[in-house]
Structure 1
Amino acid sequence: MIERYTLPRMARVWSEENKFEKMLEIEILSCEALCKLKIIPKADLFQIKKKARFNIERIKEIEKKTNHDVISFVMSISESVGDAAKYIHFGLTSSDVVDTAFSVIMCEAADILIKDAQLLLKAFRIKARKYKNTVMIGRSHGIHAEPMTFGLKCALFYEETKRNIDRLEKARETVAYGKISGSVGTYANIDPFVEEYVCRRLGLKPAKVSSQILQRDRHAQYLNSIAIAGTSLEKFSTEFRALQRTEIGEVEEYFSPTQKGSSSMPHKKNPIMFERICGMARILRANALASMENMPLWHERDISHSSVERVIIPDSTIILDYALTKMADLVNRLTVNEDRMTENLNRTKGIIFSQRVLLELIKRGLTRMEAYDIVQDAALNMQKEDINFKEALKRNKKIRGVMGPDAIDGCFDLGYHTKHVDRIFRKVGI
């Protein structure tokens, strides 16, 4: 991933230094287990633990000749150990080290993402509480529907973020497995105790069964959970972008005093960060698809997945880390224009209360279609006569025959539409 979108903490997780540190740890832990099985003498284990080091430049230099990264890694650390180096990688295959190290690194990345999502959850909770009773117009198909509150919208996003945290936690659990079972998963050349020992020390579980590799449905679940979380961020961003449109103007992305919106139009204040997050979600979905393409490998393993994973898994975690962090900041600093919400609420002159009138007419003896047609007729007439909806209802003879002026006035109560907000908030746990 390009440096522009890579935050330092996630850059460290996916650094070559961290990768080789994890691989070296696995090699040493394997030697410890083999020593406990009396395969490696204690003196040799001491030398391995004392002297084993890797040099990234040396690994790259060796790989130019071997064209094999793990062999190059083993050769590099062997050079620093001496005679005891013969026990390094004893009974292991490359994927025992690479896949198990990759699992540890994916868990480290997931821990960061979960913390990021928890900060976003907090941001939505604060906004939901603050604007719990701030009435705005709800929209369906982009058209004014009925009153709701901005706090309720934030509560909706809060609950979805909670589900994303659950998915990320389950994805972490799914990839928190290691395997040290040899070339085809039979433990022919390595005792299962080694796998149990290494995985326990790394905070992983041993795979119950494996081939040469850990099965890639685990990685696919991981990336699909990331893609879903990213798509939720796109959904939130799309909503805030739409509410920032000039003709709506109910919210506004933070715009710093020195920021510029356009190279040609000095007046512009564009929701560029929300737009950036929307773009990033497209990459996450594409990477999730690629992760599923990695599942059907030949027999006990081929290497077609490797080149894909080296890109999609680091990139996806880096992108989501960036997007979650930015979204939390955007929500915290979001400008909410309550006056504009009220203005938009009144823009359609009361027709947003049409369903309340419809139901009142039904309660008073009309059939649903009779009531529907009468209310629709009043709504259309108000536009022709340029009057508000309440006045149109009071002028309608059919409605006057069923409902008096006070009953009509009673249908225009905003509190009717927000009376269950407290209950919803209690259900959500805000």
Structure 2
Amino acid sequence: MIPRYTLPEMGALWTDQAKLATWVEVEILACEAHHELGVVPAEDLAAIRKGEPPTPERVSEIEATTDHDVIAFLTAFAETIPGAEREVDAPADTGESTADGEHPSRWVHYGMTSSDLIDTALGATLARATDLVLDKADRLVAVLKRRALEHWHDVCVGRTHGVHAEPTTFGHKLAQFAFAVDRGRTRLRAAREAVAVGSISGAVGTYSNIDPFVEQYVCEKLGLGIEPVATQVVARDRHAELLSALAMLGASVEQLGTEIRHLQRTEVREAEESFGSGQKGSSAMPHKRNPIRSERLVGIARLLRGNAVAAMESIALWHERDISHSSTERVVLPDSLIVADYQLDLARKVVEGLRVDPERMRVNLDATGGLVVSSRVLLDVVDRLGVSRDAAYEVVQAAAMRTWESGRPFRDTLAEEGVELDEEALAPERFLERHHVVRERLEALEP
């Protein structure tokens, strides 16, 4: 992912050096498990622990010959491991290594295949990265809840099909996004559990050359579950679940961004993104204040959806394994987590800095001359005149259409139909008499 959309903590997880460090972590844990089984001598384990993650440059140099990234890594890692010092081979104070055939690095990757290393390390990285995204989601829920409660009583018009409908409040608008992000993080928590697995079961997953204890030990130390039936690789529906959860969460953020973009339109102007001192909206038009951050939220959601499709395409592998998924995942897994992390952080900043204009909301609410209360007027006519709903609908609609076409107040056109209503009956606040029920649900939402 390009640096523009990469936050430092998330980006640090996906560097080549971080990947090699996690690979070293897995290999050392596997050696520890083999030591517990009596396979790796204590002296050799101590030497292996002194090994350091090789540099990406050294691995690339070796890979230019091997054309195999894991073998290149193993070779480079072995170069950092000092030779074991054994009393039977040399005096303890000479510092001489054992013979080449007994170099401690022989225990590294013992009984393992490449996918054991790659997928187990990937499971650890995905879990760590998802935790960062979940933290951002928690923060977004918290700010949406806070600002929804702040604007709970700011009455504005609700819109369906882009057309004025009934009165609502700006707090209600923000509350729906708080719950949408909350549902998204619930799905993401489940997806984290799905991808936080490892497998160290050898070629085609039968444990033919490795004790299952090694897998159990390594995964437990890394906080991972175990793939119950590995076919040399961890099942890729897990990764598709993660990217699908990210895409759905991103779509909820997209909905928030789309709403803000509409509200910031010149004709509406009920809310707008913050506009800082020195900020410029257009290279040509000095007056411009554009919802660029909200537009960015929308664009990122498109990336997340596309990557989710790519992950689904990677579920069906040939037989026990192939690597058609590998090239795809090298791009879509880090990119999705990086931009999801960025998107949620940006959304939080947008909501925190959002400028809300209750007076403009009232102007827009009154713009149609009272038509936004037509549904309550309909019920009032049914109740007061004792006529059928269809008959009442014809009366109210006739008055409403004249208001639409002439701009005359709805109260006046109703009077022409013989429906006399006082100001209280036409007050938008009548629609919010039971609104406290929704507020109570919001107050109970865990940030």
- Interval containing the TM-score (normalised by the shorter chain): over 0.9
Match of 2:221 among 167, 181, 201: 201
- Name the amino acid aligned to 2:118: V
- Distance in 2 (CA, whole Å) between partners of 1:300 and 1:265 is 60
Q: Secondary structure of the equivalent of 2:38? A: coil
For residue 424 of structure 1, what is the aligned residue in structure 2? 438
- Distance in 2 (CA, whole Å) between partners of 1:294 and 1:236 is 30
Q: Secondary structure of the equivalent of 2:204? A: coil
Shift of 1:55: 2.6
For 1:24-423, what aligned pairs fall within 5 Å after superposition?
A: 24-81=24-81, 82=83, 83-363=103-383, 364-397=385-418, 399=419, 405=420, 407-423=421-437
Contact kept, 8 Å, 1:357 with 1:408, in 2: the verdict is no
- Judged with a 3 Å threshold, the aligned counterparts in structure 2 of structure 1 residues 383 and 210 are, in CA distance, closer, same or farther, namely closer
Normalising by structure 2, what TM-score? Answer: 0.92
- Name the amino acid aligned to 2:108: I
Normalising by structure 1, what TM-score? Answer: 0.96
Contact kept, 8 Å, 1:52 with 1:78, in 2: the verdict is no
For residue 20 of structure 2, what is the aligned residue in structure 1? 20
- Distance in 1 (CA, whole Å) between partners of 2:123 and 2:404 is 63
Shift of 1:415: 2.4
Q: Secondary structure of the equivalent of 2:79? A: helix
Q: Secondary structure of the equivalent of 1:411? A: helix
Contact kept, 8 Å, 1:116 with 1:321, in 2: the verdict is yes
- Name the amino acid aligned to 2:412: E
Q: Secondary structure of the equivalent of 2:203? A: coil
Deviations 1:56-77 (A, max 9, x none): 2211100000010000000111
Contact kept, 8 Å, 1:394 with 1:408, in 2: the verdict is no
- Distance in 1 (CA, whole Å) between partners of 2:53 and 2:375 is 73
Shift of 1:167: 1.3
Deviates more, 1:383-392 or 1:228-237: 383-392
- Distance in 1 (CA, whole Å) between partners of 2:52 and 2:20 is 12
The number of equivalent residue pairs is 423
For residue 96 of structure 2, what is the aligned residue in structure 1? none
Deviates more, 1:334-343 or 1:419-428: 419-428
Q: Secondary structure of the equivalent of 1:309? A: helix
- Name the amino acid aligned to 1:380: M
Contact kept, 8 Å, 2:199 with 2:227, in 1: the verdict is yes
- Judged with a 3 Å threshold, the aligned counterparts in structure 2 of structure 1 residues 214 and 374 are, in CA distance, closer, same or farther, namely same
Structure 1: gaps (5+ residues): 400-404
- Distance in 1 (CA, whole Å) between partners of 2:422 and 2:377 is 7
Contact kept, 8 Å, 2:124 with 2:196, in 1: the verdict is yes
Shift of 1:370: 0.9
- Distance in 2 (CA, whole Å) between partners of 1:221 and 1:183 is 25
For residue 100 of structure 2, what is the aligned residue in structure 1? none
Q: Secondary structure of the equivalent of 1:137? A: strand
Deviates more, 1:73-82 or 1:15-24: 73-82
Deviates more, 1:14-23 or 1:374-383: 374-383
Shift of 1:408: 4.8
* RMSD of aligned Cα (Å): 1.2
- Name the amino acid aligned to 1:376: Q
Shift of 1:314: 0.4
Taking only the aligned residue pairs, the percentage that are identical comes to: 44
- Distance in 1 (CA, whole Å) between partners of 2:120 and 2:407 is 71
Q: Secondary structure of the equivalent of 1:146? A: strand
Shift of 1:413: 2.4
Q: Secondary structure of the equivalent of 1:184? A: helix
Deviations 1:244-274 (A, max 9, x none): 0000000011111101111111111110111
